[in-house]
Structure 1
Amino acid sequence: MKVCILCVGKIKEKFFVDAIKEYTKRLSRYTKLEIVEVNDEKTKENASDRDIEIVQDMEGQRLLRHIDEGDYVVALDIQGKMYDSVQFADKLAKFEMERHKRVIFVIGGSLGICESILKRANEKISFSKMTFPHQLMRVILLEQIYRGYRIINNEPYHK
């Protein structure tokens, strides 16, 4: 199974880039990892609801170009289901057992994920009721995927 992180925006901060590289290296023992970035859309100052919807739709179209029909899509959405780390590891193991060719975790841009991506998603998960910057969310997601594989393989990892 290939794990794909499909996200809006590029990471510019060195500390995030370094963390992403570290978790990518660690995950290489367990799975094939792919990170796909699409460009974010500039948002006007004091954007109207319609302006926000347009930005989300443009970013969503870019994301959809990277999703194939057979992909299992997990959207990171504040309204999604929450898991603890063991439950998330069980979810990863289930993906492996179901023999999904590619599982895609979608991280939206600063304005969130558009409705078309949420409709395409096979499921939605949330890591918190709080909102995180999408750059930080990428690191959090990678860390939890790594933790999940450590749990699946009965390997020690701090709690």
Structure 2
Amino acid sequence: MKITIISVGKIKEKFFSDAINEYAKRLSKFCIFIEEVIPDEKADENFSTSQIEQVKSKEGTKILNKISKNSYVVALDIKGTQLSSEELAQKINTLGIEGTSDITFIIGGSNGLSKDVLERAAYKLSFSKMTFPHQLFKVILTEQIYRAFKINAGEAYHK
């Protein structure tokens, strides 16, 4: 199986990069793991709603260009479905059983995902109603994907 994470914005702190790299290394035992980073568009805090939509649209176009044609797309969206770690593991397992070999997870920029990206997504996943820094969230997502593969392999993992 191929797992891709497409995220908007570079990871600036080394400790976040180190954590992501560690989980990516661990994931290599279970799948092909790919990270794609889309540069974030500059957005001032005083931008109007239409200016923010333009920023999301530009980022969205870049994201859509990175998605493989046959990939099952999971958009990380605060309005999405919340799953436990075991339920995420089951979702990934079920997709594999049904013949899906390419899953793409998308983390938007600080303004969220464009309408086009959300429409392309086959599934919308929420980890919480809380807001997380994007850099930290990429660590959390990578760890949860690793945890899902460990659960599916029947291997011990801290609960």
Unaligned runs of 5+ in 2: none
How much does 1:105 deviate?
A: 0.2
**Aligned runs of 1:83-102 on 2, under 5 Å?**
83-102=83-102
The SS at the match of 2:12 is coil
Measure the CA separation in 2 of the matches of 1:103 and 1:154: 21
Q: Does 1:48 align with 2:45?
A: no
Q: Show the counterpart of 1:117.
A: 117
Measure the CA separation in 1 of the matches of 2:68 and 2:124: 18
- Relative distance call for 1:133 and 1:149 in structure 2 (3 A) is same
Please give the TM-score of this superposition, normalised by the length of structure 2: 0.97
How much does 1:69 deviate?
A: 2.6
Aligned AA (1:68):
S
How much does 1:118 deviate?
A: 0.3
Aligned AA (1:55):
V
Aligned AA (1:116):
D
Q: Show the counterpart of 1:155.
A: 155
Q: Does 1:3 align with 2:29?
A: no
How much does 1:95 deviate?
A: 1.8
Runs of 4 or more, structure 1, over 4 Å off, are none
**Aligned runs of 1:26-41 on 2, under 5 Å?**
26-41=26-41
Q: Show the counterpart of 1:60.
A: 60
Tell me whether 60-69 or 71-80 shows the greater mean CA deviation: 60-69
The SS at the match of 1:76 is strand
Please give the TM-score of this superposition, normalised by the length of structure 1: 0.97
Aligned AA (2:51):
D
How much does 1:45 deviate?
A: 3.3
